[in-house]
Amino acid sequence: METKEAINKRVSVRHFLDKQITENELQTLLKAGSKAPIGMSKYQEMHITVIQDKNFLNELNKAAEGYFKQKGKRLFHGAPTGIIVSGKKTNYYDMEYDNGACILENIHLMATDLGLGAVYLKGVVAFFSDNPEYLKRLNIPKDFTILAGIAIGYPDKEYPPKDHNIEYNII
* Domain span at 78: 3-153
Q: Is residue 71 part of a domain?
A: yes
Report the Cα 24 to chain-centroid distance in Å: 18
d(CA 141, CA 153): 26
| Least reliable range by pLDDT among 29-38, 46-55, 125-134, 157-166 | 157-166
Q: Is residue 88 part of a domain?
A: yes
Question: Residue 155 pairs with which residues in a beta bridge?
Answer: 16
**Residue 95 reports pLDDT greater than 90:** yes
**Helix segments in 2-149, DSSP class H:** 3-9, 23-34, 54-68, 95-113, 123-130, 132-137
pLDDT score of 116: 98
The alpha carbon torsion through 34, 49, 150, 94 (nearest 10 deg) reads -70
Q: Is residue 43 part of a domain?
A: yes
Q: How far apart are the first and last CA of the chain?
A: 33
pLDDT digit string (tens) for 108-123?
999 999 999 999 999 9
Under the banding of pLDDT at 50, 70 and 90, the label for residue 162 is confident
d(CA 130, CA 119): 22
Indicate the pTM of the whole model: 0.95
Q: What is the DSSP letter of 157?
A: S
Q: Is residue 135 part of a domain?
A: yes
pLDDT digit string (tens) for 119-155?
999 999 999 999 999 999 999 999 999 999 999 999 9
The answer to whether 151 and 16 have CB atoms below 8 angstroms apart is yes
CATH for 100: 3.40.109.10
Q: Is residue 92 part of a domain?
A: yes
Number of separate domains in the chain: 1
Under the banding of pLDDT at 50, 70 and 90, the label for residue 163 is confident
Q: Is residue 98 part of a domain?
A: yes
Q: Is residue 13 part of a domain?
A: yes
The answer to whether 65 and 76 have CB atoms below 8 angstroms apart is no
Question: Residue 118 pairs with which residues in a beta bridge?
Answer: 12, 152
pLDDT digit string (tens) for 39-81?
999 999 999 999 999 999 999 999 999 999 999 999 999 999 9
Q: Is residue 80 part of a domain?
A: yes
Residue range 8-14: mean pLDDT, rounded: 96
Residue range 13-30: mean pLDDT, rounded: 98
pLDDT score of 25: 98
Measured between alpha carbons, how far is residue 10 from residues 31, 33, 78, 123, 138 in Å? 19, 16, 19, 21, 28
* Residue of 108, 110, 111, 129 lying closest to 120 (CA atoms): 108
d(CA 42, CA 20): 31
**Residue 164 reports pLDDT greater than 90:** no
